[in-house]
Amino acid sequence: MAVTSPPRLSALVRKLQADSKLTNEQSAAILALPAIFREFRAGQEVVREGDRPSQCCLILDGLACRFKIVGDGARQIHSYHIVGDIPDLQSLHLARMDHNLACLRSTQVAFITHTALRELIKVHPNVGQKLWRETLIDASIFREWMSNIGRRPAITRIAHVLCELLVRYRAMGLAQDMVIPQPITQTELGDAQGLSTVHVNRSMQELKDEGLAVLSGRNIKILDYERLAEIGDFDPAYLHLCEMPDMIEARAYTDRCN
């Protein structure tokens, strides 16, 4: 179950070049990180609230989320994590997990020890800055979701999160066909945006009736990104995607740029 280092960490290299290129040495150092690869089934938890991890996990394929269970048992999803993300990077500096990390679909991850990451950062401070930057983008997404949940109506929230997912996948070179490449259930959308499953369903139907987004098999297909972004009050600036390697297409979804 635990193999060492095929050239699979390239997803991380790609992600970290969002703002500016890495040098060859930096890329090489990342690709050479010692990693343990593992596959999780849908529903499995990777790290739990209260844990004190000694490693971070890089998503190679699939879909994960961070979440908390509140007093009455309800789940709040804080973020979705796709290929290239390191959802528990914060554990490098915050000893104790204050939330959970679980896989929503069947998911492949690479575990990299804190020790190895610290060594990488020491030798390549620029990579350290880029990792810091990634955690700041996470925080920016949290803020946007907070605005969503706190101050926007249900239909807007759903449209918004669909836009975000699409743009993030496309920034990683996926979802060319405007289909979000991982299925996301309506319950999961509700737990992310503070809505009941029933109400998500009704919002999705509105989006369908308007010709903005539909279910394509088990996946969500965006039919009219422009109008979806409009009713979703969506401006991708908060994703800080600019200077992506393939900005040619990412730029189409980004009006303002860093």
Q: Convert residues 35-54 into a mask of x (bound to a copy of itself by CB under 8 A) and - (unbound).
A: ---------------x-x--
- Are the beta carbons of 126 and 26 closer than 8 angstroms? yes
Residue 238: CB atoms within 10 A of its CB come to 16
Q: Is 139 in the site for a copy of itself (CB under 8 A)?
A: yes
Q: For a copy of itself, which is the closer residue by CB, 192 or 213?
A: 192
Q: How far is the CB of 232 from a copy of itself (least distance, A)?
A: 9
Q: Any contact of residue 196 with a copy of itself (CB under 8 A)?
A: no
The residue whose two tokens read 């999780």 is 40
Alpha carbon distance, N-terminus to C-terminus of the chain: 42
Tokens 């919002």 correspond to what residue? Answer: 203
102 binds DNA (CB under 7 A): no
Among 15, 81, 124, 240, binds a copy of itself (CB under 8 A): 240
226 binds, among a copy of itself, DNA, none (CB under 5 to 8 A by kind): none
- Give the shortest CB-178-to-a copy of itself separation in angstroms: 23
Residues 73-92 that bind a copy of itself (CB under 8 A): 74-76, 78, 90
Alpha-helix runs per DSSP H in the chain: 10-16, 24-31, 114-123, 125-151, 154-171, 186-193, 197-209, 225-231, 247-250
Are 104 and 64 spatial neighbours (Cβ–Cβ below 8 Å)? yes
Q: Does 201 bind DNA (CB under 7 A)?
A: yes
Build a one-symbol-per-residue string for 147-186: x at contacts with DNA by CB under 7 A, - elsewhere.
------xxx-----------------------------xx
173 conformational bin, left if phi > 0, alpha if psi -120 to 50, beta if neither: left
Q: Which two tokens stand for residue 61?
A: 């394929």
Quick one: which of 147, 187, 216, 219 contacts a copy of itself (CB under 8 A)? Answer: 147
Beta bridge partners of 45: 102
Name which of DNA, a copy of itself, none residue 135 binds, using a CB cut-off of 5 to 8 Å depending on partner kind: a copy of itself
**CA 82 – CA 175 distance, rounded (Å):** 12
**Spatial distance between the Cα atoms of 71 and 180, rounded to a whole number of angstroms:** 32
Q: In what order do the strands lie in the sheet with 55-61?
A: 36-40, 107-113, 55-61
Q: Which residues bind a copy of itself (CB under 8 A)?
A: 50, 52, 66, 68, 70-72, 74-76, 78, 90, 93-96, 98-99, 122, 125, 128-129, 132-133, 135-140, 142-147, 149-152, 156, 193-194, 233, 237-238, 240, 256-258
Q: Which residues bind DNA (CB under 7 A)?
A: 153-155, 185-187, 190, 194-199, 201-202, 204-205, 215, 217-218
